[in-house]
């Protein structure tokens, strides 16, 4: 069964109320959200949800209207106590607390204090609590299994806070998103478009990538500011695109960075050493492909597969230690079979074999090269004979597990 996912187009930033407005516009029922929020032991607020139009686009505007503007200053422990005193489900409590903890850790870094000492000012107010708990509820009610987000607008100017005027993005906002490697793009306007609450929701719940998605619903959550463009957060709700296997044959999914470059003026010895450096620096795989470049020059296509968080480092390593003048980086999604090692008994003694699975079904089993090489050396046997013995043992294992 395909997963329900959502992609956030943050062309105009994100705040807590914009996120909830987008969820509501994409199909979250207002009354269901309102009823679920009564599980929180807080009062003195009203929820406002109205249709909104700006520059030809229709969407929704969500807001939490406070009856008293003066709000108590809260610590993370106060927020945790409030959540645990609620009748919210454990998963919602944990998600909301994780968002607040994300903010507390960023604030502690900015102020040079501990998480326990951090005072929540604007973010500790009832409206921010409703926004954060509402975000966790909305994602669960809609059945969203993964959020994705675009790059964020990097604006300038200042924002008024309890600490006085601070540069935009606010220091805690910037620290929150720095920790997860959020991408930014230049934006010509002044003022705060990414709020601390919005940043914490993204840092906790979303990954910054463009998914393969079959879009079913689109929601627009509008903010308060008037801008030259529609000031909204666009949420695309749909299903993860890709073929579905048989029951019990689920593949794992992750994202990797693919780094490529054409090199036409390095020797084989240097390229061989470069491969070793790339693996030592965190590459998952490195391959060289022969190709023909302009002026009929023979060249090599260098392809690196790496964890997303290691992509920039490996690209910089390529620029520093090879003759290339540029590299290409893209994030791609992988489907992976599960791989484990199991020890089997053979006439040559116990040996490790690698097992390939899709979900609960065993697809194949094969001898491990290093294990066969070890036994061949210990027994002074040809490697091919050791492989033959190991291969027979894997066939017995496959028959016992119902594999191919």
For 164-192, write each residue's pLDDT tens digit. Answer: 788 989 999 999 999 998 999 999 999 99
Which residue ranges form the domains of the chain, and what is each CATH number?
Answer: 4-240 (no CATH), 252-335 (3.30.70.1380), 338-401 (3.10.20)
Of 241-255, 290-304, 380-394, the one with minimum mean pLDDT is: 241-255
pLDDT at 246 over 60: no
Average pLDDT over residues 242-270: 77
Torsion angles phi and psi, residue 396, rounded to 5: -65, -40
By DSSP bridging, strand 158-161 and strand 164-167 are antiparallel
What are 127-166's pLDDT values in tens digits? 889 999 999 999 999 999 999 999 999 999 988 876 678 8
Structure confidence at residue 253 (pLDDT): 74
* pLDDT the model gives residue 309: 84
- Cα distance between residue 196 and residue 205, in whole Å: 14
CB of 348 within 8 A of CB of 388? no
39 Cβ contact list (under 8 Å, min separation 6)? 86, 87, 88
107 burial (CB, 10 Å; 0-12 / 13-18 / 19+) is: buried
User: How far is Cα 148 from Cα 232, in angstroms, rounded to an integer?
Assistant: 17
Cβ–Cβ < 8 Å for 50, 20: no
CA atoms in the 13 A half-sphere facing the CB of 73:
7
């Amino acid at each position: 069964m395909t997963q329900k996912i959502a992609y956030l187009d943050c062309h105009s930033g994100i705040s807590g109320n914009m996120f909830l407005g987008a969820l509501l516009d994409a199909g979250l029922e207002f009354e269901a959200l309102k009823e679920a929020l009564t599980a929180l032991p807080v009062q003195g607020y009203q929820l406002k949800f109205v249709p909104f139009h700006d520059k030809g686009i229709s969407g929704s505007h969500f807001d939490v209207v406070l009856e008293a503007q003066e709000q108590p200053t809260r610590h993370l422990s106060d927020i945790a106590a409030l959540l645990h005193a609620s009748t919210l489900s454990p998963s919602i409590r944990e998600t909301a607390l994780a968002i607040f903890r994300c903010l507390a850790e960023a604030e502690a870094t900015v102020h040079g204090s501990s998480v326990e000492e951090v005072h929540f000012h604007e973010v500790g107010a009832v409206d921010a609590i409703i926004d954060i708990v509402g975000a966790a509820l909305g994602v669960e009610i809609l059945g969203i299994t993964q959020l994705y987000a675009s790059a964020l607008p990097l604006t300038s100017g200042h924002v008024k806070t309890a600490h006085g005027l601070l540069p935009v993005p606010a220091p805690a906002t910037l620290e929150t998103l720095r920790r997860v490697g959020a991408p930014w793009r230049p934006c010509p306007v002044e003022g705060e478009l990414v709020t601390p609450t919005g940043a914490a929701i993204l840092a906790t719940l979303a990954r910054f990538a463009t998914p393969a998605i079959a879009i079913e619903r689109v929601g627009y959550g509008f903010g308060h500011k008037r801008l030259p463009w529609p000031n909204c957060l666009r949420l695309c709700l749909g299903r993860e695109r890709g073929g579905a296997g048989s029951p019990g044959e689920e593949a794992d999914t992750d994202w990797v960075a693919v780094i490529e470059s054409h090199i036409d003026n390095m020797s084989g010895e240097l390229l061989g050493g470069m491969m070793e450096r790339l693996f030592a620096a965190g590459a998952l795989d490195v391959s060289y492909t022969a190709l023909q470049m302009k002026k009929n020059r023979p060249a090599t296509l260098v392809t690196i597969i790496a964890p997303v968080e290691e992509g920039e480092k490996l690209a910089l390593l390529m620029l520093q230690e090879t003759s290339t003048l540029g590299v290409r980086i893209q994030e791609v999604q992988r489907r992976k079979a599960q791989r484990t090692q199991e020890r089997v008994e053979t006439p040559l003694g116990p040996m490790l074999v690698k097992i390939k699975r899709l979900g609960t079904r065993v697809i194949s089993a094969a001898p491990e090269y290093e294990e066969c090489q070890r036994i061949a050396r210990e027994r002074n046997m040809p490697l091919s004979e050791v492989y033959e013995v190991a291969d027979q043992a894997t066939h017995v294992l496959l028959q016992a597990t119902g594999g191919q």
